[in-house]
């Protein structure tokens, strides 16, 4: 018992001397956050996470005190460094995703100034949560096919991400280590179908494939890639046809996004740097004239704008226009 007490005191003193001063109100806020997110740590981990949380909170407060197009906030990731976050949530395998000449054929417009497929009907499933698995590409894929299918048939069916994690590896996808929606659509096309979320539920880790053809609920006739860097073609597709998948480069500031139109000077805009796949469900323009995309993420509803975010449109922000696609439904 005495040795335990000595170890505890030594750990605390070591922590105090090796880290910047943490205010009582910051520790109180951390305890509130722990309660809110059901977090429990042992003593050593507590002080380690307290320091990271405090650093993140100061980043958020500093950002929000400035003049930016978006605000930051605390969320379920606020006790993690960006390096830790990348390891668990982003694509860890480099993705070669540029379609230098896509197959999408644009029309000339005109297009509505505002589009949101969530408001057009029952065409978008609720925000899902990928958990500790780099499977964003599967959620981008299912989200798009769910919408395309619903627009074609009038029936919105939640589709299986786990089937893609387990079964789509022959199409250059890597389960929880990453993949691409366009390659996942190819898998669904040649595999002849994707099962429902209910019949093939999400586990959030790599497993063996147990696809049952008789239970396939959605099918892909063909895959449509949008030509790299052609953001106007993305607008054409979303305005006329359906939501589209895209991939982009997530950097540390995006982790704390809460509201507003996200922009970054830290991210890269080339095809070799994309590390996260999402779903554009619409677009619009801010009162100050800034155009934006409305984007569905896969980090649960506690993150961002109830699981969504806005990102600047028209500038290939963070490479969002290098790797966009959607499927043609087979119904």
- Pick the closest to residue 180 from 138, 212, 150, 145 (CA basis): 138
Distances (CA, A) of 225 to 35, 61, 100, 126, 139: 44, 40, 9, 25, 18
How far is the C-alpha of 319 from the C-alpha of 328, rounded, in Å? 24
How far is the C-alpha of 106 from the C-alpha of 308, rounded, in Å? 26
In the Cβ-directed half-sphere of 268, how many Cα atoms lie within 13 Å? 7
Active site residues: 136, 276, 297
If 0-12 CB within 10 Å is exposed, 13-18 middle and 19+ buried, where does residue 208 land?
exposed
What tokens were used for 223?
A: 């895959």
How far is the C-alpha of 45 from the C-alpha of 231, rounded, in Å? 45
If 0-12 CB within 10 Å is exposed, 13-18 middle and 19+ buried, where does residue 66 land?
exposed
């Amino acid at each position: 018992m005495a040795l335990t007490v000595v170890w505890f005191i030594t750990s605390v003193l070591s922590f105090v001397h090796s880290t910047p001063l943490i205010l009582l109100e910051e520790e109180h806020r951390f305890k509130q956050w722990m309660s809110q997110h059901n977090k429990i740590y042992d003593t050593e981990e507590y002080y380690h996470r307290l320091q990271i949380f405090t650093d993140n909170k100061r980043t958020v407060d500093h950002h929000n005190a400035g003049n930016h197009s978006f605000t930051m906030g605390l969320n379920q990731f606020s006790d993690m460094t960006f390096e830790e976050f990348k390891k668990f949530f982003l694509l860890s395998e480099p993705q070669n995703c540029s379609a230098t000449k896509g197959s999408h054929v644009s029309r000339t417009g005109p297009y509505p100034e505002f589009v949101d497929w969530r408001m057009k009907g029952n065409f978008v499933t609720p925000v899902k949560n990928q958990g500790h698995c780099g499977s964003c590409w599967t959620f981008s894929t299912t989200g798009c096919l769910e919408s395309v299918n619903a627009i074609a048939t009038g029936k919105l069916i939640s589709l299986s991400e786990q089937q893609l994690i387990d079964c789509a590896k022959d199409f250059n996808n890597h389960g929880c280590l990453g993949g691409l929606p366009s390659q996942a659509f190819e898998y669904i096309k040649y595999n002849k179908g994707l099962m429902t979320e209910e019949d093939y539920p999400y586990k959030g880790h790599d497993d063996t494939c147990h696809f049952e053809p008789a239970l396939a609920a959605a099918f892909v006739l063909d895959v449509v890639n949008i030509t790299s860097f052609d953001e106007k073609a993305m607008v054409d597709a979303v305005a006329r046809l359906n939501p589209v998948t895209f991939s982009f480069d997530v950097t540390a500031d995006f982790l704390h996004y809460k509201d507003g139109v996200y922009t970054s000077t830290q991210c890269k805009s080339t095809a070799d740097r994309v590390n996260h796949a999402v779903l554009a469900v619409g677009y619009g323009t801010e009162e100050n004239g800034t155009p934006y995309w409305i984007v569905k993420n896969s980090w649960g509803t506690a993150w961002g704008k109830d699981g969504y975010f806005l990102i600047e449109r028209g500038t290939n922000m963070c490479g969002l226009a290098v790797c966009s696609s959607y499927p043609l439904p087979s119904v």
